[in-house]
Amino acid sequence: MSLARKLAIISCAAWLTIGIASTLLIADSGLDGIASPSGDRTRSILAAIILPGYLIGFAIIWWTRNGQRAGEIDERDKKVESRATEIAATIVLLTIFLVSIGLYDAYIDRGGVPVGWLYIMAYGTIVWVSFLHPVLRLIIDFSGTIDG
């Protein structure tokens, strides 16, 4: 297994775990638990859950750079990375657009969207893009096509 695949699998596993933990915390505290002034503890826990993902991400960047220098990551890996980035950006933008429109439609009668959704969208976007990119990288890598 190539270094790029190993790193993508590590990233997928880390962000899947972080995503599940974040979802459970949000479900347990609810919108009011995140948005209220007393929700500082919940927001801090949410940030602490996401922090290891960033640390793992920085380690993966370091391993990738070392792998490039050692020749373990080649031009094909770079093309796979680039294609995954293109697709992930499009999917994330569409997701944010659809969630925003959905929230507008869901709360149009109330005159405003609950503030807690801002935290959910902010942290959710971090988790979503960080998980989606390595998943797409693996899909493209295993499919054997870089253009597809």
Dist. CA 81–CA 19, nearest whole Å: 22
Dist. CA 5–CA 7, nearest whole Å: 5
Q: Which of 50, 83, 78, 82 is nearest to 64 (CA)?
A: 78
97-132 CB burial, b ≥16 within 10 A, e <16: eebeeebeeeeeeeeebbebbebbbebbebbbbbbb
Give 10-residue mean pLDDT values along the chain (148 residues): 89 96 92 77 91 94 83 85 94 97 94 87 94 95 73
pLDDT digits (tens, 9 = 90+) for 74-100: 888 889 999 999 999 999 999 999 999
Q: For residues 82, 97, 114 and 53, what is the CA-based torsion angle, rounded to 10 degrees?
A: -10
Contact present, 83 and 41 (Cβ < 8 Å)? no
pTM: 0.85
Q: DSSP label at 61?
A: H
pLDDT digits (tens, 9 = 90+) for 127-143: 999 999 999 999 999 88
Dist. CA 80–CA 67, nearest whole Å: 15
